A = this chain, B = another copy of it.
Amino acid sequence: MYEPLIQYIRNHSTSPLTDESIEAITKLFVPKKIRKKQYLLQEGEVCKYSAFIVKGAMRQYTVDNKGVEHIVHLTIENWWTLDRESWVMLTPSNYYIDAWENTELLLITRADAVSLVNQCPAFNEMIRLLDERNNIATQKRLTSSISFSAEKRYADFVNCHPDFLQRFPQHLIASYLGITKDTLSRVRKQYQKR
């Protein structure tokens, strides 16, 4: 179960991964299976874990006061899912995270992640790289959401995440892009004609 995570850390660092580090990783990450529609996190709870997805698909969303869900993240195997603010600051979360497929996770608390950063250079390097990439990716999505047309947002999404089209239904993708299902339908037709 730990092999995909070990491989992921190797792929995201240049420091060697020692036997001691692998031992620490398998000790500090806790396996968890959740079934489709089960929650990893609910609004108002503190996000105790950062979760590495070994297998499956998850979604993270807010629910507005009209009861409408707004998809903030869609994630599949080899991605991480968490509410970073709640995980770092220990504040109640504004998000729900649930499983869109039956999912296998490896969970780590903030305290254990900090401990691992200090004892495992490869993990430290990976975390810094991910933080940086995450900063860049979130900034890109924000710029896209402020500046780009629905057509460009859809084209960028297909370009970046072609595999997501097979894993998530249209209404979740529309919500992720911040557009209505009807707009997505129109945009997809235009895109396919290109």
A118–chain B nearest beta-carbon distance, Å:
12
Contact B141 A85 (CB under 8 A): no
Contact B88 A143 (CB under 8 A): no
Q: How many copies does the complex hold?
A: 2
Residues in B with CB closer than 8 Å to A147 are: 62, 64, 70, 72
Residue from the set A64, A128, A135, A145 with the largest chain B CB neighbour count within 10 Å: A135
Interface range on chain A (Cβ under 8 Å from partner): 20 to 34
Q: How far is the CA of A135 from the CA of B84 in the complex (A)?
A: 8
Digit string of A71-96 for contact with B (CB within 8 Å is 1, else 0)? 11000000000001100110000110
Contact B72 A146 (CB under 8 A): yes
Q: How far is the CA of A82 from the CA of B170 in the complex (A)?
A: 35
Contact A85 B139 (CB under 8 A): yes
CB within 8 A of A143: which of B94, B128, B131, B132?
B94
